[in-house]
Structure 1
Amino acid sequence: MSIFNKIVTAVRGSVRELGEAVVDANGTRIYEQEITDARQALTQARQDLTMVMAKEMQAGREIERLAAEQARFENHAVAAMDKGEDALALEVADRIVALETELAAQQQARTEFAASIARLKELIKQAEAKVREHERELVMARTTESVHRATQSISHSMGSGGSKLLSARESLERIKQRQQDLADRMTAAAELDNEIGGQALERKLEAAGIGENAGRRAAVLARIAARRAAPADEPGDA
């Protein structure tokens, strides 16, 4: 094999692989389009069926007309024979033969139309069942693709390098740590103020009985005790 033939073969192989890759990547879309094409073919088949049914009805009407015409000319033939018009009776007989031939052709056509109608109805029925089955399969295929995409997204998010969930977890931990640091600083500041701040000095003075509030507690207790010791008014006093 020459170098040129090898190059051509390699190019054909690449084109085939590329075509298969495109088909695989768009498999669901292609499947959906094929179902759409089948639906359109069914629509055309129904139109063809209605046309054949119309032809059958036309053949039926023509058979009725020809049968009536044949009966009419048979009556004419009897009348001609009754009057001794043998030549006229033969001419009418020729007309009846032509009508019988045309009537047989129309009956044959109607029989063929009826057979075609039955066959088309069965084919359409089978095709519709197949299309509905493929439509259900298409729904399942789409659902499966959605599940696969979700699974891949979750797997990617939970992967080791550059994990989105891991990054979110780290951000949450940093927020919690900052909040805890702030709470600890506020607690430490309160404790420090209690120990060495202005409030600490006030509590020490109060404990020593010094300051504005030093004697108020004792005064309140003394006032309550005096009220208890006071005698109650007599019922008849004004």
Structure 2
Amino acid sequence: MSILEKILTLFRGAATEAGQSIVDKNAVRILDQEIRDAQNESVRARDELARLMAQQRLAGDKLQARQDKKAEYEGHIAKLLAANDQNLAREVAAKVAQLESELAAEQKDCDNLAGAVAKMHDAIKSADRRITGLQQQVDQVKVNESVLRSQSAIAARHSGQNAKLRTALDSLERLKAQQAERGAQIEAADALAKNDGDGDLEARLAKAGLVAGSVSADDVLARYQKVTATVEPPAQLGAPGESPAQTVPAEKVKAN
């Protein structure tokens, strides 16, 4: 297959797909038009049926007239035979024979017309039933299509509402996080303010000796010097051979 043939095949395939897509999208509209066409055909069929029935009636009337004429001639034959008029009776008999031939042909035509009328009547009834059934199915399809469109619209609105709710919840969570962060910042600022305000005051109170538990190196040294002075008596000259008084460590005295 050449390139040109492939391209033409591609175009035919694309045209077929496009046509099928159009048909699928307009299936209900196409069905409606087909039903209208079928109804129009049914109307024309009814007109044709009426024409055939008229022909059948005319043929029946003509057949009945010939039968009446035949019966009349047959009566004449009986009277002529009774009058012994053989020649005229023969002529009338020839006319009756002609009428019988015509009656046979006309009877056949009437039978054919009756059969055609019956067949067309049955065909019209069958077509009407099919059209009615198809119309009911199309109506059901339209109802289903309306329901599907309504459900699709509801689903779309529900989806949109869910998306909006999710967006609102996300915004609410972000707002809560921002509020919590601002609250933490405020608490930290308050703590810093308290520390900054009380720190200088505590230092000045400790310097004044009013804060319990505040001990400086000078205080500790003074305390030890006081203990040492209390334990060690003034130095005295002892007797020969006596050792000077031993200094008792402050920790030992404190322990005693």
Is this a same-fold pair by TM over 0.5? yes
1:66-85 equivalences in 2 (<5 Å): 66-85=66-85
Query: Structure 1 residue 108: deviation in Å?
Result: 1.6
* Alignment partner of 1:140 is 2:140: yes
Task: Give the AA of the match of 1:51.
Answer: R
* 2:94 match: 94
Which residue of the partner structure matches residue 152 of structure 1? 152
Question: Which range is displaced more, 76-85 or 54-63?
Answer: 76-85
Distance of 2:48 and 2:32 partners within structure 1:
25
- Corresponding pairs, count: 169
For the residue of structure 2 that corresponds to 1:158, the secondary structure is helix
Report 1:26-65 matches (<5 A).
26-65=26-65
- Runs (4+) off by over 6 Å: 168-171
Structure 1 counterpart SS, 2:62: helix
Which amino acid is the alignment partner of residue 92 of structure 2? V
1:78: Cα distance to partner?
3.5
Aligned 1:1-238 pairs, distance under 5 A: 1-159=1-159, 163=160, 167=164
Q: CA deviation at 1:165?
A: 6.9
Which amino acid in the other structure matches residue 29 of structure 2?
R
Q: Deviations over 1:128-184 (max 9, x none)?
A: 22111111111111111112212222222233xxx367559989xxxxxxxxxxxxx
Q: CA separation in 2, counterparts of 1:169 and 1:9?
A: 50
Which residue is equivalent to 1:204? Answer: none
Using the alignment, how far apart are the partners of 2:10 and 2:167 within structure 1? 51
**% same residue:** 32
TM-aligned CA distance change 1:168 to 1:59, over 3 Å: farther
SS in 2 for 1:121: helix
Structure 1 unaligned regions, length at least 5:
172-238
AA paired with 2:2? S
Measure the CA separation in 1 of the matches of 2:97 and 2:156: 87
Aligned counterparts of 1:15 and 1:138: Cα–Cα separation in 2: 27
Q: TM-score, normalised by structure 2?
A: 0.59
Deviation at 1:55, TM superposition (A): 1.7
Using structure 1 for the length normalisation, give the TM-score: 0.63
- Structure 1's 12 and 84: CA in aligned 2 closer, same or farther, altered over 3 A? same
Q: Which amino acid aligns with 1:72?
A: E
